[in-house]
Structure 1
Amino acid sequence: MLATPLERITLEPKSTATTCVIWLHGLGDSGAGFAPIVPMLGLPENHSIRFIFPHAPEQAVTINQGAVMRSWYDIKSMDLHNRADMTGVLTSEKRVQALIQEQIDSGIPAKNIVLAGFSQGGVLSLFTGLRFEQSLAGILALSCYLPTADTLPEQCSAANANTPILQNHGTHDGVVPISAGKIANDLLNAAKYNVTWQSYPMEHSVLPEQLADISAWLQARLLA
């Protein structure tokens, strides 16, 4: 059993929520880092999407000289093959699974839930979404990689074999090289996943143009 549920910021729609986006932040950030984007998505005023921005627990991060910060898992090295602490990834996966289950228990089915994330949060959204045992509405993976380096995660679920996946990456990303994102994309394509790749002329960040594209993708998944 996990100790306490993830703390989070929840933004409710004006109407009753029938769909949900769970958005995971990057290393050293918090749910407050991405919550302000919701008005920027230009969604219809009467949309029914609940947005949840959970906070990762605080822990020491090896590549940052052991400094304690919000992190979904320890990052041990900048080398793609040794970057992610898989014990931490699996622990956070359970926390995110529990958060998805909360939404299911509240009456929003998995098929109406998008799992999204940026950077380290994108790693976790991709990993968790591929392995989740109920079909999700979509997986949004921004400026990230697979924690399993140049292989797909073990025990990928058939439930999400056809789930739409949107990968975004900056062409000038100096934190997570675009090559790492492309490795993940190539693996997903080779395995016949329903994946879309879009790159933008940016660093390790998010652009207004990109948010417009994300908004269209979310609306097609959750409001169509």
Structure 2
Amino acid sequence: MADSSLEPLDYVELNPKQEADACVIWLHGLGDSGDGFAGVPPYLDLAENHRIRFIFPHAPVRPVTINNGMAMRAWYDIKSMDLEGRAPLDEVLVSCQQVTALIEQQIAKGIPSSRILLAGFSQGGVIALHLAVRYAQPLAGLVALSTYLCQPSLMAGQASPENRQLAIFFGHGTQDEVVPYAAGKAAVETLTANGFNVAFNTYPLAHTVDLNELKEIGGFIQKQLPPLND
């Protein structure tokens, strides 16, 4: 259960033409907002009859140490670019709780956890990864983009049995200068070693996504969340 004392996240919500029977919760990267990915759905090439609601949360505004303490939207502070300590566990857990509240909100609206898919880019991917593999109810899938793991050594003891069969789309650019390709590859190796079903997709990109990657993500989402009534 999410901690009800935490500040709820604001978000952009996009609904399908027909009544939603599934949901994608997509987390942005450092300094961005939910608006940054809210324009993505038309480029996913989803079927016209899809019934997927998209939720694009806005991370809280906080000072970010590596950016000279400038306040910006961030899922956690970054004090060092060293990957071992880049994502402080205590702050990651708070963000996971806030996203859990969004999942529970969708469940309360009638969408089961098995029809909810988490997605995240960079910092948002760290939160999506950390939460999805530990979530106590089965999820539909996970899209992790240009990202890395927070304290990978903890996964073996904390991974949720309910999501051991979770389908994971992991995308990473081979020219990424912010989250090195090696970090993404290491995350995939940790996930695989812990029994997760990971499709590792690489692209000749820097720290970004392009139309080709979005189409492949769309295919993955469509496979995991086909409309129930058609």
Pick the aligned partner of 2:56 from 53, 56, 59: 53
The TM-score with structure 1 as length reference comes to: 0.97
Pairwise CA RMSD of aligned residues? 1.2
1:107 equivalent in alignment to 2:110: yes
* Counterpart residue number, 2:101: 98
1:14 equivalent in alignment to 2:24: no
1:32 equivalent in alignment to 2:38: no
- DSSP-derived class of the 1:76 partner: coil
Matched length: 224
* Counterpart residue number, 2:179: 176
Counterpart CA distance in 1 for 2:133 and 2:161 is 9
Maintained 8 Å contact 1:80/1:149: no
What is the CA deviation profile of residues 83-116 of structure 1, one whole-angstrom value per residue up to 9, with x for unaligned ones?
Answer: 1111110100100011000001100000000000
What is the Cα deviation at residue 3 of structure 1?
3.6
Q: Residues 55 and 154 (structure 1 numbering): CA distance in 2 closer, same or farther, change over 3 Å? A: farther
What is the CA deviation profile of residues 174-219 of structure 1, one whole-angstrom value per residue up to 9, with x for unaligned ones?
Answer: 0000111111111111112111100000000001110110011000
1:215 equivalent in alignment to 2:218: yes
Q: Residues 27 and 154 (structure 1 numbering): CA distance in 2 closer, same or farther, change over 3 Å? A: farther
- DSSP-derived class of the 2:35 partner: helix
Maintained 8 Å contact 1:150/1:184: no
Counterpart CA distance in 1 for 2:45 and 2:173 is 22
The TM-score with structure 2 as length reference comes to: 0.94
Counterpart CA distance in 2 for 1:208 and 1:153 is 35
Pick the aligned partner of 2:92 from 89, 94, 102: 89
Counterpart CA distance in 2 for 1:34 and 1:153 is 32
What is the Cα deviation at residue 150 of structure 1?
5.6
What is the Cα deviation at residue 149 of structure 1?
4.6
Counterpart CA distance in 1 for 2:218 and 2:190 is 26
What is the Cα deviation at residue 135 of structure 1?
0.4
Counterpart CA distance in 1 for 2:199 and 2:141 is 11
- DSSP-derived class of the 2:155 partner: coil
- DSSP-derived class of the 1:91 partner: helix
Counterpart CA distance in 1 for 2:189 and 2:154 is 10
* Counterpart residue number, 2:146: 143
- DSSP-derived class of the 1:167 partner: strand
Counterpart CA distance in 1 for 2:102 and 2:47 is 26
Maintained 8 Å contact 2:34/2:57: yes
Taking every aligned residue pair, what percent have the same amino acid on both sides? 51
Unaligned runs of 5+ in 2: none
What is the Cα deviation at residue 154 of structure 1?
4.7
Maintained 8 Å contact 2:122/2:145: yes
Structure of greater relative contact order (alpha carbons < 8 Å, 6+ residues apart): 2
Counterpart CA distance in 2 for 1:125 and 1:214 is 15
What is the Cα deviation at residue 2 of structure 1?
2.8
